[in-house]
Chains A and B, each alone.
Chain A
Amino acid sequence: MLTLTLSMLLGLLALSVTAAATVGLLGLTLAEFHSPLSLANAMGELAWGTSAEFLLVAIPLYVLMGELLVSSGVAGRMYGAVSKWVSWLPGGLLNANIGASALFSATSGSSVATAATISTLALPEQKKGGYHAPLFLGSIAAGGTLGILLPPSINMIVYALIANVSVPKLYLAATLPGLLLTGLFMGLIVGICLRRPSLAGQRPSVSWSERIGVLPDLLPPLAIFVLVIGVIYGGIATASESAALGVVAAMLLCLWNGALSWEMLGRAFEATLRTTGMIILITLAAFFLNFVLSSIGLTTRLVSSVSALDLPPLGMMLAIILFYIILGCFMDTLAMLVTTAPLTVPIVVSLGYDPVWFGVMLIVLCEMGQLTPPFGMNLFVVHSVRGEGRFMDVVVGVLPFLAVLLLMIVLLLAVPQLALWLPGWMSK
């Protein structure tokens, strides 16, 4: 039955059937043929219960907040300021791409939004500065993936709901790995540019007074970050409430900058609802599939047969990681997360791993998925904003960053405390 399930899942996806419909129809088929109960009757209640879940309210609010921030022009000024601050490093603006991505990530829950925003801001500078195209493109695509690792993060909200773990805990757990990964990306750029100065492009010369002058431009995104994330740990708000605060603050910023108009709101609303519709439809299909899988006993059977394999936990974990790396080549990462996490989380927990740690690991695997061809959302985004040249430029450009992500996975495996230390320390 497991083989049938997996082959139907992959088959329908390969036939380019809408992911949500694939997941939903798979659930209906299994319910029809593998259970004497009328499991399909649970579909309506599950859809209502899932889509009225307060935790998920954070998703459209994060998207709306990002849309409003970009419209207000805050993001553009932020990129300019970051580039003035880090451009003295070998690699110049390449570092700015990573730094600005990290900073934008702090106000955005999605990698695609981060990559699209930074590409639009950064790409015009690539030719001007004479940067090696692949490396420049790669730095944007890779930097964009920080969007889901550094809090806030849509993927983490969805994972928290599936794995029944706390969102603030997950955010804390991802913070150190997120900062470390930012550092590793920058270290990689500096390392490459020191060995091959021809790739590095010219470093813009910036005076200190200029740097001080642009500092105010960094304030709005930092303020939003402090507001959205700070209030959670300051004991003021839950994750969803903090997202609402972010939306209100972003709206006030737009008003302040004179960017608020009905036309702009209409665009922001439509973009927000497009993304929300996509995420919620697939999430509620996945919840239905999850109910069916557990009702027909497949989850229990899978967990017990995996335990019966008697692999050492590390071996099993490596197999799971490999599975996700391969799947990530072909699937959108959010779809991958919601369709597989209900199956892998019980296994991982039965192996004795912490579900919070596994959440961080899964997010890093999602980041890889966004960068691996043939289906890598961030590759597509950067290539299209560029609007010229070969797709392979982007692919070649992300290869070194993929190696860094692999290193990150090894580090997380070797030192689980990387993720677990901060949440543990905060609870002292």
Chain B
Amino acid sequence: QLPATHLRVVGGGSHNYTFSAVEQPFWRDTLPGASGGRVTAELVGLSESGLKGPEVVRLLRAEALDVAMGVFAFVSGDDAGFEGVDLPGMAPDIETAHKMVRAYRPVLAARMRERHGVRLLATVPYTAQVFFCREPVTRLEDLKGRKVRTRGRNMSDFVSALGASPVTIAFAEVIPALQTGVVDCAVSGIGSGNAAKWYDVAKHLYNLPTDWSIGFYAMSEARWRELEPAVQQFLQAQAQVLENRLWDETARENAYALACNTGQGECRIHTPADMQARTPEGADREAVRAVAAKVAAAWGERCGQECKAAWNGSAGKALGVTLP
């Protein structure tokens, strides 16, 4: 029998679909169930705890948090290497994204443990980060000159490279900003944007996945070492369960989200809306690939030789891309 263990968990944003569909049931039922009630957890959403995102790794290391979820694009200020898990424009679909993350996972785990004193438990995906726009976007060309709400350095670089102007505003301010035209487009998960009712103010969807907002569940390394080996093994195995469920459920959400936003086809998870959607094709896909390569090369320069080599040997290999 496992020793009684109680974990305090700060999860993802509670407005996301997977928070209630996966994270809540996992920490509330699955974990205690699998341990015969010995390992229990208490979950709060990120914004309910008053955190903003960039501080998560530091707070884990300082043992101010037990287990927490973070998004790599938010915590990358302390380590550009984190951005390699989710380089923009690299993964046109969730299968490719999963391949990229799986390949880069060992690099990440080592980096997090050695440099940051945190233990990677699970990787977390979100739905494709796409453009919700006020005006129609039919070709890549149409994004030129638009003001686009983004988050994180790499996505801003990508959006600039596409000829648009990145703007940073808080999630809560996106709807009024789209409504009044403070921004022309906003990037968010194709599912999360629906959940936040962006379709009320943005009638056009440009289905170009910039990235997948890849995140992580992690635990403070010091807290991890305090656990007995049996609990460590149990947690490791359960974290894999959580990771698999998150990827499966996000893939499902992603598959229905386009139908929901356009109101055409099968919409099982979100709310049917009436957006006009366009997906880049032919020459535009080539152009995206070229821009993605350019942004990735710039990231490689920032990250350094060693980091670039680690990426080429893992994620790069899986994708068939080599940074110069």
A90, CB-defined interface residue at 8 Å: no
Chain A residue at minimal CB-CB distance from B134: A235
On whether the beta carbons of B59 and A238 are closer than 8 Å, the reply is: no
Q: Which residues of B contact A235 (CB under 8 A)?
A: 179-182
Q: Which of B42, B55, B201 contacts A49 (CB 8 A)?
A: B55
B33, CB-defined interface residue at 8 Å: no
B283, CB-defined interface residue at 8 Å: no
On whether the beta carbons of B54 and A38 are closer than 8 Å, the reply is: no
Contacts A166-B175, A235-B180, A427-B201 given; does A41 touch B59 at CB 8 Å: yes
Chain B residue at minimal CB-CB distance from A428: B200
Q: How far is the CA of A235 from the CA of B183 in the complex (A)?
A: 8
On whether the beta carbons of B51 and A291 are closer than 8 Å, the reply is: yes
Contacts A49-B52, A167-B173, A295-B8 given; does A38 touch B64 at CB 8 Å: yes
B83, CB-defined interface residue at 8 Å: no
On whether the beta carbons of B179 and A37 are closer than 8 Å, the reply is: no
Is the contact region of chain A dominated by helix, strand, or loop, or is it mixed? Answer: helix
A352, CB-defined interface residue at 8 Å: no
Distance of B202 from chain A, by nearest CB (Å) = 12
On whether the beta carbons of A291 and B50 are closer than 8 Å, the reply is: yes
Q: Which of B50, B170, B179 contacts A427 (CB 8 A)?
A: B179
Contacts A55-B170, A234-B180, A238-B173 given; does A300 touch B42 at CB 8 Å: yes
How many chain B residues touch A (CB < 8 A): the figure is 31
On whether the beta carbons of B8 and A37 are closer than 8 Å, the reply is: yes
Q: Which residues of B contact A239 (CB under 8 A)?
A: 173
From A41, A300, A426, name the one whose CB has the most chain B CB atoms within 10 angstroms. Answer: A41
Q: Which residues of B contact A160 (CB under 8 A)?
A: 172
Per the 8 Å Cβ criterion, residues 42-57 of B in contact with A are: 42, 44, 47-52, 54-55
B249, CB-defined interface residue at 8 Å: no
Contact with B along A28-65 (1 / 0, CB 8 A): 00000001011111100110010001110000000000
On whether the beta carbons of B66 and A37 are closer than 8 Å, the reply is: yes
A233, CB-defined interface residue at 8 Å: yes
Contacts A37-B8, A166-B172, A297-B8 given; does A238 touch B55 at CB 8 Å: no
How many chain A residues touch B (CB < 8 A): the figure is 40
Q: Which of B59, B63, B66, B201 contacts A45 (CB 8 A)?
A: B59
Distance of B255 from chain A, by nearest CB (Å) = 29
Q: Which residues of B contact A41 (CB under 8 A)?
A: 59, 62-64
Contacts A42-B62, A160-B172 given; does A233 touch B48 at CB 8 Å: no
Q: Which residues of B contact A232 (CB under 8 A)?
A: 176, 180
Distance of A100 from chain B, by nearest CB (Å) = 30
On whether the beta carbons of B48 and A39 are closer than 8 Å, the reply is: no
On whether the beta carbons of B50 and A342 are closer than 8 Å, the reply is: yes
Contacts A167-B173, A297-B42 given; does A426 touch B49 at CB 8 Å: no
A346, CB-defined interface residue at 8 Å: yes
Q: How far is the CA of A40 from the CA of B62 in the complex (A)?
A: 9
On whether the beta carbons of A238 and B66 are closer than 8 Å, the reply is: no
A299, CB-defined interface residue at 8 Å: yes
On whether the beta carbons of B65 and A37 are closer than 8 Å, the reply is: yes
B58, CB-defined interface residue at 8 Å: yes
Chain B residue at minimal CB-CB distance from A49: B52
Q: How far is the CA of A53 from the CA of B271 in the complex (A)?
A: 32
Q: Which residues of B contact A295 (CB under 8 A)?
A: 8, 44, 49, 64-65
Q: Which residues of B contact A8 (CB under 8 A)?
A: none
Q: Which of B50, B63, B66, B173 contacts A294 (CB 8 A)?
A: B50
Q: Which residues of A contact B269 (CB under 8 A)?
A: none
Contacts A37-B64, A300-B42, A346-B48 given; does A45 touch B58 at CB 8 Å: yes
Contacts A37-B66, A41-B62, A160-B172 given; does A294 touch B180 at CB 8 Å: no
Q: How far is the CA of A257 from the CA of B59 in the complex (A)?
A: 52
On whether the beta carbons of B50 and A165 are closer than 8 Å, the reply is: no
On whether the beta carbons of A164 and B47 are closer than 8 Å, the reply is: yes
Q: Which residues of B contact A45 (CB under 8 A)?
A: 55, 58-59
On whether the beta carbons of B44 and A294 are closer than 8 Å, the reply is: yes
Pairs of residues from A and B, 5 with the lowest C-beta to C-beta distance, nearest first: A235-B181, A235-B180, A41-B62, A42-B64, A168-B176
In the complex, 5 of the A-B residue pairs with CB atoms within 8 angstroms, ordered by the A residue number, are: A42-B55, A49-B52, A166-B176, A294-B48, A427-B200
6 additional A-B pairs beyond A42-B65, A168-B173, beta carbons within 8 Å, are: A38-B64, A168-B176, A234-B180, A295-B44, A346-B48, A427-B179
Query: Which residues of A are at the interface with B, using a C-beta cutoff of 8 A?
Result: 35, 37-42, 45-46, 49, 53-55, 160, 164-169, 232-239, 287, 290-291, 294-295, 297, 299-300, 342, 346, 426-427
